[in-house]
């Protein structure tokens, strides 16, 4: 596997960097404080082709590889991890799954809308009593002949109130356990489908996270994705790729915190010289830089394996586990380097520290990543 980046990959990263620094950066402090969803920027990301990056142009996607997507995610997350997760869910959890497992009709009807960014998607697996233990979800889909009837509750759904289309995992045959779970496309506005309360979160506050309520929602038969009983496999396969996106988000948060810290250390003076001239700060910067480089190697490796159509589930678990750990550690150190200023909003790093935490939780906690890795060693 080559480790060289292509000209196209570098150009995509540059476009994402320009967009993040010239636009997202202008209002992220305000959006974070007031929990404002960035509808205006999501629209602009759609114009840039960032909402369906890996989808074939045949379905109005940008036809790029996973590594390009990762590099764009990293640049956007450097500035604004909230907007990054909106993009990540649409790209790697919703579009990818539909392109891989949807039928032609579903791709033409739904994937085109999502990949072009005309519509936004959400991925609904977690429930109040089924987070890490996803196989024990309770949302039920009853076969009513002409349609399926969905009843249940989903929790912590990214793009919860802002999405138009929802991929919902529901149990169609409890006797079969995880092999009885199926995946359905639910559209906003279907009778019985209600958006539940918005979560008041520690971080990624400009993204929109809700619970969702399904009360006897009639879902057309043609909205079943990948066949009856394929839902758990669908979710796991999709999340394998999603974890690379979240690893890239973590990497970007860490890189952003590092860049803020490096610049700050050259400006801020103590004891008559810039703090960058104190060895205590130099060692922190050196460690941060090394940890980020190590994380980037794992994240890019996972993306390259996926692009090469090789097995990448363990690589993506390693990338997410490690990059999210680095993001947490680096942002804590970034606040420390900034001292008192690190604790106030205007300097960004306190937000980055709050944003970093979720990367150790969603799309599989760090403990779930270790479980996936450990199982691969012992099988």
Is residue 166 near ligand CAA by the rule CB under 6 A? no
Kind plus residue range of the DSSP H or E element containing 241: helix 231-267
List for the chain the helix, strand, coil content (%; round to 5): 60, 15, 25
Minimum distance of ligand CAA from residue 365's CB (angstroms) = 7
Is residue 138 near ligand CAA by the rule CB under 6 A? no
Is residue 239 near ligand CAA by the rule CB under 6 A? yes
Is residue 158 near ligand CAA by the rule CB under 6 A? yes
- C-alpha torsion 258→264→265→266, nearest 10: 120
Is residue 135 near ligand CAA by the rule CB under 6 A? yes
Compare residues 134 and 212 and give the one whose CB is closer to ligand CAA. Answer: 134
Active-site annotation holds for 363: yes
Query: Helices 66-79 and 231-267 sit at what angle, rounded to 10 degrees?
Result: 50
Is residue 130 near ligand CAA by the rule CB under 6 A? no
Q: 60, 74, 363, 367: which is the annotated catalytic residue? A: 363
What is the DSSP code (8-state) at residue 117?
Answer: T
Is residue 237 near ligand CAA by the rule CB under 6 A? yes
The number of angstroms, rounded, from the C-alpha of 241 to the middle of its chain's C-alpha atoms is 10
Tokens of 51: 């909402």
Choice from 29, 195, 236, 262 touching ligand CAA (CB under 6 A): 236
Is residue 364 near ligand CAA by the rule CB under 6 A? yes
Is residue 127 near ligand CAA by the rule CB under 6 A? no
Minimum distance of ligand CAA from residue 203's CB (angstroms) = 13
Rounded Cα distance between 8 and 14, Å, is: 10
Choice from 17, 138, 178, 188 touching ligand CAA (CB under 6 A): 178
Minimum distance of ligand CAA from residue 361's CB (angstroms) = 8
Compare residues 178 and 289 and give the one whose CB is closer to ligand CAA. Answer: 178
Tell me the residue length of the chain: 379
Minimum distance of ligand CAA from residue 92's CB (angstroms) = 10
Is residue 240 near ligand CAA by the rule CB under 6 A? yes
DSSP bridge pairs for 270 = 273
Is residue 132 near ligand CAA by the rule CB under 6 A? yes
Kind plus residue range of the DSSP H or E element containing 217: strand 209-220
Choice from 82, 126, 206, 255 touching ligand CAA (CB under 6 A): 126
229-232 long-range Cβ contacts below 8 angstroms, 24+ apart: 229/172, 229/173, 229/176, 229/179, 229/180, 229/181, 229/182, 230/101, 230/182, 230/183, 231/169, 231/170, 231/172, 231/181, 231/182, 231/183, 232/134, 232/135, 232/169, 232/178, 232/179, 232/181
Compare residues 146 and 377 and give the one whose CB is closer to ligand CAA. Answer: 377
Size of the site for ligand CAA (CB under 6 A): 25
Residue 278 CA: distances (Å) to CA of 8, 259, 274, 341: 40, 18, 8, 18
Is residue 228 near ligand CAA by the rule CB under 6 A? no
Please report, as ranges, the residues that interact with ligand CAA according to CB under 6 A. Answer: 89, 93, 123, 125-126, 132, 134-135, 157-158, 178-179, 232-233, 236-237, 239-240, 313, 362-364, 368, 371-372
Catalytic positions, please? Answer: 363
């Amino acid at each position: 596997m080559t480790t060289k980046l292509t000209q196209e990959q570098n150009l995509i990263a540059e476009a994402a960097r320009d967009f993040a620094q010239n636009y997202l950066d202008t209002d992220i402090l305000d959006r974070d404080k007031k929990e404002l969803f960035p509808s205006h920027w999501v629209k602009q990301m759609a114009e840039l082709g960032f909402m369906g990056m890996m989808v074939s142009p045949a379905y109005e996607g940008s036809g790029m590889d996973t590594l390009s997507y990762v590099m764009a995610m990293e640049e956007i997350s450097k500035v604004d991890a909230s907007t990054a997760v909106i993009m990540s869910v649409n790209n790697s959890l919703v579009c990818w799954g539909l392109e891989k497992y949807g039928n032609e009709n579903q791709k033409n009807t739904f994937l085109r809308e999502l990949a072009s960014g005309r519509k936004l998607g959400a991925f609904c697996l977690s429930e109040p009593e089924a987070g890490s233990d996803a196989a024990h979800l309770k949302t039920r889909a009853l076969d009513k002949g002409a349609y399926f009837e969905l009843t249940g509750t989903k929790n912590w759904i990214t793009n919860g109130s802002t999405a138009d289309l929802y991929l919902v995992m529901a149990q169609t045959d409890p006797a079969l356990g995880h092999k009885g779970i199926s995946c359905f496309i639910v559209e906003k506005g279907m009778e019985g489908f209600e958006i539940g309360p918005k979560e008041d979160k520690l971080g990624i506050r400009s993204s929109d996270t809700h619970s969702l309520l399904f009360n006897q929602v009639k879902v057309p038969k043609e909205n079943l994705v990948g066949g009856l009983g394929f839902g758990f496999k669908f979710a796991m396969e999709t999340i394998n790729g999603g974890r690379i996106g979240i690893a890239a988000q973590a990497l970007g948060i860490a890189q952003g915190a590092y860049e803020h810290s490096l610049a700050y250390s050259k400006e801020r003076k103590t004891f008559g010289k810039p703090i960058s001239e104190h060895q205590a700060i130099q060692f922190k910067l050196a460690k941060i830089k090394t940890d980020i480089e190590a994380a980037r190697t794992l994240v890019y490796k996972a993306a390259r394996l996926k692009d090469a159509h090789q097995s990448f589930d363990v690589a993506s678990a390693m990338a997410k586990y490690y990059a999210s750990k680095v993001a947490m550690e680096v942002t804590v150190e970034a606040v420390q380097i900034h001292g008192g200023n690190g604790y106030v909003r205007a300097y960004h790093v306190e937000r980055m520290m709050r944003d970093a935490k979720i990367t150790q939780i969603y799309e599989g906690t760090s403990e779930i990543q270790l479980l996936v890795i450990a199982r691969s060693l012992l099988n």
